[in-house]
A and B are shown apart, each in its own frame.
Chain A
């Protein structure tokens, strides 16, 4: 069974601060996705990383896929209250499990004005 551990589980920061969220596994994933979810809504896809060592930027968000494709990080620069939400990472397996995503339990981020 593939597992994804996200840390921290909860994060409360002030507007303007930087933060990093981590997603770790002992398993190799063919790709890894990051989602953001607001209360009462479905998760929204932010980015997909596919290649080991890949870095993608989405405005103030920087996503990195580990060289061994077992881990990923999300860095937010100068966080804003609008960044508040549940951040979920999800890994896509290979071979027979390539129809299913394995989700981490999420990091609940609160950015205080």
Chain B
């Protein structure tokens, strides 16, 4: 069966510091991968998605970036965090039917 992992689970970072969040998927190959941000337990904002290694599509202009160095690895990064980057970050992968399965999320607090 497929599983998706995210780490760290929680993170507290000062403004201006770098960020690296990692997501890995097991049990499937060549998945579409997604990064979302969720503010205050409400709707999901799509940040990036990837349909293959090295292929990244950005949905929202911001100081975040994403990379996919391996088939089942998706990384969300920032060079300098802003207060507004605080939130709950979710990674997801899709089945062939475009049903999304989410990781457990990373709670990021920028202080």
User: Which residues of chain A have a CB within 8 Å of any CB of chain B?
Assistant: 31, 33, 37, 39-45, 48, 86, 88, 90, 92, 98-101, 103-106, 108
Contact indicator B49/A42 (Cβ below 8 Å): no
A88 CB contacts on chain B under 8 angstroms: 43-44
Nearest-neighbor residue (CB-CB) of B9 within chain A: A40
- B: which residues have CB within 8 A of A? 32, 41-44, 46, 49, 51, 57, 59, 90, 92, 94, 97-105, 107
**In whole Å, how far is B23's beta carbon from the nearest beta carbon of chain A?**
11
A residues in contact with B100, CB < 8 Å:
33, 43, 45, 90, 101
* Contact (Cβ within 8 A) A106 B42: yes
B98 adjacent to A86 (CB under 8 Å): no
B99 touches A105 (CB 8 A): no
Q: Smallest Cβ distance from B52 to chain A, in angstroms?
A: 11
Query: Is the CB–CB distance between B41 and A48 below 8 Å?
Result: no
Given contacts A88-B44, A100-B46, A105-B43, contact A42 B98 (CB under 8 A): no
With A100-B46, A103-B43, A108-B41 in contact, do A45 and B51 touch (Cβ < 8 Å)?
Answer: no
Closest to B97 in A: A48
- A42 lies within 8 A of B104 (CB): yes
A104–B107 Cα distance when bound, in Å, is 21
How far is the CB of B35 from the nearest CB of chain A, in Å? Answer: 12
- Contact between chains at A42 and B41 (CB < 8 Å): no
Q: Is the CB of A104 within 8 A of B102?
A: no
Q: Give me the 6 closest cross-chain CB pairs, A-B, nearest first.
A: A42-B102, A105-B43, A103-B44, A92-B98, A42-B105, A43-B102
Contact A105 B32 (CB under 8 A): no
**Chain B residues, Cβ within 8 Å of A108:** 41
A105/B98 in contact, CB under 8 A: no
Chain B contacts for A43, CB-based, 8 A: 44, 90, 100, 102
The CA-CA distance from A39 to B104 in the complex, in Å, is 11
Bound CA–CA A45/B32 (angstroms): 16
Residues in chain B near residue A90, CB distance under 8 A: 44, 100
Kindly name the residue among A31, A42, A43 whose own CB sees the greatest number of chain B CB atoms within 10 A.
Answer: A42
